[in-house]
Amino acid sequence: MSLPVFKKIRIDIFLILSFVLPFALYMVTLAPSVTFFDSGEFMTAAASLGSAHSPGYPLFLMYVKSFTWLPFGNIAFRINVATAVSSSLACMMVYVLTTSILKKEVLIEDDRFNQVAFKLAGLAAAVLFSVTPRLWLQSNHDKPYPLLAFITAIIFYLLLKWQEQYREGNERPSYVYVCTFLAGLAMAVHQTIVLLLPAWFMLIVLTDWRMLTRVKELILATAFALLGFSVHLYLPLRALSNPLLNWGDAKTLNQFMWHFLRRGYPSEPPVRDGALLWAQIRAFNVPREFTWLGAALALLGLLYLWRSNRTFVIAYFVSVAVFLSVIAGYFNTPMEMIFLTEEFFTPLYLLTAVTVGVGLFRLLAYAIRTASLPERVGAPVYGIVAVLFLTLPTALCAVNFYENDQHKNYIAFDYASNSLRSLPQNAIMFTWGDSGAFPLWYLQGVERMREDVDLPHTPHLVFRWYLDSMPRIFKNSNLKKIDANTFGPETALLIAVSENIGVRPVYIDFSTRYSIELKQYLPVQQGIVYRLRKMNEPSGMPDISMWDNYNNRGIMEKQSFLDLDTGKAILIYANSYLEAGEFLAGINRKREAVIMLRKAEQISPEMRGYADQIRMRYGLGR
């Protein structure tokens, strides 16, 4: 009796490194807790298997939910690990795409050297992509874009495999079916996946245009796309369970379409001028991500690919054109929002990294043609090639490390926890702005801090589904009896405050204090938040003892990572200390005033001029 012969499995160490090296780097620089922007909202929605802001992101939430079961770290850290994993998988797919393009290239007669060379090029491209500022920024906390880039890369890889099989005389429409399924699935990660459809269409049509005439294959491809899209059923199914965060409350078809089509974001496009158009176009910036040397290598790679696989090059440029046409042309993104649209280009940067890898390989081919190598090369040559390929990724890592190191970034967590510490029992605090509200949602909803308080978000007071989600405040509110959209969130806030100010302590956060004019009420500072009192109510003395209970990690010392909202939070602390110092000086508590002014200057040296004016006005020393 003969035993079955098993094929020996070869482990590709370069493939493993293309995942392990980025993942190790991301874990070293990973944010330890909740951050600003959409972080707290995504984490709260994922932990409760709820729904995030429109269009809901169901697949992303289910993906990161699985990481909340890890046996280490807090929930926020575990979800951040999920993004580090998806980013590392996207980097690994850069390796897979690059090596699949280069695998038939022959440099010299030494097969082993040829194999190592194209694998090193793929590894260099993967590591280079991992340290680009955009991907690195997205990889240290919860973001859907790396997962989208990973799925995008799989689709491109499968289409290239389908193309290869077709050119060898094999009809494999199953590759296309899997791609349409993944495209439908990816809609539940981020809707910008639709901007890549024209590129995939061109890649298929330029390879085999007869696909368009095969009704059966078109029907099957559409069916698989709908099957992938069906993951959106998560939204109404979970809405029926009333999860902790149920954005849009997509129980009905109308509400589902409202949620999916982003109808909750009305906006008037700005007047376009040359400066705005140029800023919109420059949101896609290859030299900023890869350096000018990387951009030159990408161009070299594209020139080579034009000769060997021009359908890939056409698909790449179609992708870039569609992204810019829709994001810059159709949406006409306002200047202050362009930084958000930069997030959308991650799949394009992944493809660019592949072209950089191809360019590196062609640069090596040119060097070999000008040198005389023996038939069998030795270790020194391998070392030179490795240095040649990995110098750019190493340099880019060194340049971007400091600004992307978030392993001590507790600013959002501390800002939210300090706000909660400032509130008395059973208080209500109205917030304004996503970054001010979302960390509070995470701390209260996931880490169960201060469940006695209510934290209504002012811009959402115009939505009935949001009012229904907070029955303790709005069960019998007049806001349910009027069309709040007609009046806007400012009027809705005034109505909500008037209904509650005599019943419970009512507070507002810093952003609300300086976003809305509250003529009927006087805001009284309580640390970094404000208590609202009626005009005829005694204000009392300020309680400055709470400042001693605040956590100020990353506030008093220089913070390496500093995005827009982190910088705003630091300025809020500085302004709050400055405001407290001015008030204390006005009631002749000069020693305490001096301390407050010094802290404002320590946090933000830009406050020194304002602090000096206060000192002069009240005769204070330093």
H or E element, residue 506: strand 506-509
Same domain as 436, residue 394: no
**CB neighbourhood size of 277 (10 A):** 13
Contact 72, 105 (CB under 8 A): no
Look at residues 147, 182, 123 and name the one whose alpha carbon lies nearest to residue 360. Answer: 123
Using the 3D structure, point to which of 511, 539, 567 is the last residue of a domain: 539
CA-wise closest residue to 82 among 73, 128, 341: 73
Q: Are 453 and 420 in contact (CB under 8 A)?
A: yes
Instruction: Provide mean pLDDT across the span 53-67.
Output: 93
Same domain for 171 and 92?
Answer: yes
Give the count of alpha carbons within 13 A of 612, CB side only. Answer: 5
Section 52-68 average pLDDT: 93
Q: What is the pLDDT of residue 541?
A: 66
Q: What is the pLDDT of residue 61?
A: 95
547 and 414 Cβ atoms separated by less than 8 Å:
no
Cβ partners under 8 Å of residue 309, min gap 6: 101, 160, 163
Q: Residues 374-382: what's their mean pLDDT?
A: 67
Higher local confidence (pLDDT), 516 or 76? 76
Residues 334 and 445 in one domain: no
**330 domain residue, yes or no:** yes
- One domain for residues 386 and 483: no
How many angstroms separate the CA atoms of 151 and 132, rounded? 19
Which ranges of 208-263 does DSSP label H, i.e. alpha helix?
A: 215-229, 234-239, 253-260
pTM: 0.91
Q: Does residue 432 belong to any structural domain of this protein?
A: yes
Name the residue with tokens 């029907």.
219
Residue 530 bridge partners (DSSP): 508, 525
Q: Are residues 134 and 165 in the same domain?
A: yes
CA distance 619 to 622: 10
Average pLDDT, the chain: 88
Helices (H), 501-563: 510-513
Q: In terms of domains, do 315 and 183 share one?
A: yes
Among 32-41, 56-65, 166-175, the range scoring the smallest mean pLDDT is: 166-175
Coil, strand or helix: which one is 267? coil
Q: Are strands 521-526 and 529-534 parallel, antiparallel or unpaired?
A: antiparallel
Task: Say what the pLDDT of residue 125 is.
Answer: 95
The alpha-helical segments, DSSP class H, found in 230-345 are 234-239, 253-260, 274-281, 286-308, 310-324, 338-341
Residue 386 has pLDDT above 90, yes or no: no
Q: Give residue 95's domain range.
A: 13-263+276-283+295-399
Asked if residue 108 is part of any domain, the answer here is yes
Q: In the numeric block, which tokens belong to residue 302? A: 């594209």
pLDDT (tens digit per residue) in 408-444: 889 999 999 999 999 999 999 999 988 889 999 999 9
Alpha helices in 325-428 (DSSP H): 338-341, 346-369, 379-404, 411-421
What is the number of structural domains in the chain?
2
What is the C-alpha to C-alpha distance for residues 154 and 278, in angstroms, rounded to an integer?
32
Same-domain check for residues 181 and 138: yes
pLDDT beyond 90 at 26: yes
CA distance 53 to 440: 16
Residue 187 and residue 83 share a domain: yes
Please, which pLDDT band fits residue 88 given cuts at 50, 70 and 90? Answer: very high
Within 10 Å of residue 166's Cβ, how many Cβ atoms? 17
Of 106-120, 340-354, 365-379, 570-584, the least confident:
365-379
Task: Assess whether the previous peptide bond of 55 is cis (omega < 30° from 0).
Answer: yes
If pLDDT is split at 50, 70 and 90, which confidence band does 208 have?
A: confident
Strand bridging mode 529-534 / 506-509: antiparallel
* Residues 385 and 427 grouped into a single domain: no
Question: One-letter amino acid identity for 413?
Answer: F
Count of all residues that appear for the chain in the document: 622
Domain final residue pick, 399, 431, 449: 399
Q: Is residue 417 part of a domain?
A: no
**Measured on CA atoms in the order 422, 424, 429, 435, is the torsion positive or negative?**
positive
- The per-residue pLDDT for range 284-332, each reduced to its tens digit, is 999 999 999 999 999 999 999 998 889 999 999 999 999 998 887 777 7
Q: Of 349, 368, 399, which one is at a domain's C-terminal end?
A: 399
In the 8-state DSSP scheme, what is residue 6? P
Give which of 217, 253, 216 is closest to 235, Cα–Cα.
253
Residues 65 and 128 in one domain: yes
Q: Report percent pLDDT > 70 for the chain.
A: 95
Once rounded to an integer, what is the mean pLDDT over residues 12-25? 94
In this prediction, residue 1 carries a pLDDT of 45
**CA-to-CA dists, residue 498 to 137, 277, 482, 508, angstroms:** 42, 44, 15, 13
For residues 96 and 148, membership in a common domain is answered with yes
- Using one digit for the tens of pLDDT, what is the confidence trace for 175-197? 999 999 999 999 999 999 999 99
Indicate whether 213 pLDDT > 60.
Answer: yes
Is 589 inside any structural domain? no
Determine, yes or no, domain membership for 205.
yes
Distance CA 334, CA 268 (A): 9
Angle at 62 between CA 58 and CA 66, to 5 degrees: 170
Rg over CA atoms, the chain: 28
pLDDT average, residue stretch 483-490: 76
Residues in CB range of 164: below 8 A, 6 or more apart: none
pLDDT > 80? residue 548: yes
CA–CA dist 476, 521 (Å, integer): 23
Identify whether residues 148 and 216 lie together within a single domain.
yes
Q: Please indicate, yes or no, if residue 597 is contained in any of the structural domains.
A: no
What confidence score (pLDDT) does residue 266 get? 65
Residue pair 244/52 in contact by the 8 Å Cβ criterion: no
Side-chain-side CA neighbours of residue 203 (13 Å): 25
Of the two residues 168 and 177, the one the predictor is more confident about is: 177
